[in-house]
Amino acid sequence: MTTSSSHRGARIGSGRTARGRSVVALIVVAAGLVATAQANAGDHLGRGSHWAFVDQRAAVHVAPSQASRIVTRLSTTTQDGTDELVLILAQRSRPDGVWMKVRLPILPNNSTGWVKAARLSRPRFVHTWLRVNRAHERLTLFRDGRAIFRARIGVGRPETPTPAGNFYIRDKLTGFPPGTLYGPLAFGTSARSAVLTDWPKDGVIGIHGTNEPDLLPGHVSHGCMRMRNEDILRLAKLLPVGTPLTIT
């Protein structure tokens, strides 16, 4: 398998300088976050969302304060070698700078925390929201409040369930050999399996193709969401990284 999410190249081409940018400029760009971000909301339908790359290794705190307990530490890369990113939920200005509340790709699922904005890239905006209904074995992608893609999928078996909660699309991987379990491509999410996973690294829950389409739809996986290869190829043209994901 090769990782080909191309996040790094996309960032170089964006005209952004990760280390030398002005914090003041970041504050201006992020000024609208409070109005659109909902710290605990799962329904992003019609609202849009912000996300950012992790430019520098960062401590994540339980509150927007250096004195508060550290929840975890973020690296600049994922387990797959792609650029790490986080979904932004809220912003707060403090005497020591601007803080962002972010959704985290860790266990327990649905974890959040506060990180210094200076450690993140300029916030990006997405108009999309992905929803997975496990009971109906259905995936739906919305853009600006309108459903633009639907597909029947496979989800986790009862003993290895796909976790419920609010997550986001963390990276995109391509280059799998023909006929493999993951199909032509896969999306990594911020969700983690507390039991098992057919994702190869660190319990990350993915959305991927399949070499066994006859099993779909159904409760058939170790936690990942499986799609027919033709469906995930269509989805790949519509689904940007950073998109919020709600699994019910």
User: Is residue 110 within 8 Å of residue 248, measured between CB atoms?
Assistant: no
CA distance 101 to 104: 10
**Rounded CA gap, 171 and 190, in Å?**
9
What is the rounded distance in angstroms from the CA atom of residue 66 to the CA atom of residue 41?
A: 26
Q: For the chain, what's the residue count?
A: 248
The residue annotated as part of the active site, out of 7, 61, 208, 222, is: 208
- Cβ–Cβ < 8 Å for 117, 30: yes
Closest CA to 243 of 160, 91, 139, 161: 139
Residue 187's SS3 state is strand
Q: Note whether 12 and 55 are within 8 A (CB).
A: no
Query: Catalytic annotation on 7?
Result: no
**Amino acid code (one letter) for 49:** S
> CA-to-CA distance for 115 and 246, rounded, in angstroms?
23
- The DSSP element (H or E) to which 167 belongs, if any, is strand 165-174
**Catalytic annotation on 208?**
yes
Q: Kindly state the tokens that stand for 64.
A: 């927007």
Which residues form the catalytic set? 208, 224
